[in-house]
Structure 1
Amino acid sequence: MSLCLFIAGKSAACLAGLLFSLSWTHSVEKTEWVEYWQLKDEQLLLKETFVKGSGAGIDPAPNAVLDKGWYRWAPESPVRIPAISLANSELTPDNWMLCALDPVSVKPVECIDFAKFEDRGVESFTIQSSK
């Protein structure tokens, strides 16, 4: 199974695997944010969230644990969605980064840096599974 990035309804890039990270820098606090997602039954299942600190618009979940400056938590109830829609904002200091993760080491295997689409005038992206 693959997770693909779509622009204007057309596949722009895909990553093979079942475990992925989506990361970015928060536009106001300039804080790093990482989410781990799993592909399951053609749906995206949120596994865990990591946020480097807290601040405006960044409220760690009540079950979050602070570890080496990162708040870390898993959803208390399953978060399962068919796709993720993202805006391309000039206010975000770093671009979105989508990485396929090794299921054992949870280290990035291959990544898509959304910066490669900057010069195409892209306003939004959609991430969803593809058979």
Structure 2
Amino acid sequence: MSFGSTEMYSALNVSAITDLLDTYLSQPAIFDNVLIPQSFGGNKSINYYLTSQYSSEAEIYDYTINCRAATMGESRTIASTVIDTISRENGSNYYIYCEVLATISPADDLDNFNTPLTATIKLK
């Protein structure tokens, strides 16, 4: 069971968003995971993960979407584009609502700026 992650990936994997990201193994740098692969050498990426309990009755899932980049401006641009593209998005079997959170500064020289979003996806 994907718990909405397949739908979330489909919503994020559109040119308006992927054009802003680096690639990883010939794919857009969109990771369905809490961590970004250590072998990823780029700066601009998205990682997303489930942050709520699974309820088989409602099929509503809360995700965190991290929009990462080398600069605060790039990170916010990715986050803004994600919101403009997927918030209030009606897919064939889902609806998504997003909210932006405060940008997080890099923890060290190896880290990036991160503008996180919360995204609630409701399957139909």
Higher strand share: 1
More helix by share: 2
> Bigger radius of gyration, 1 or 2?
1
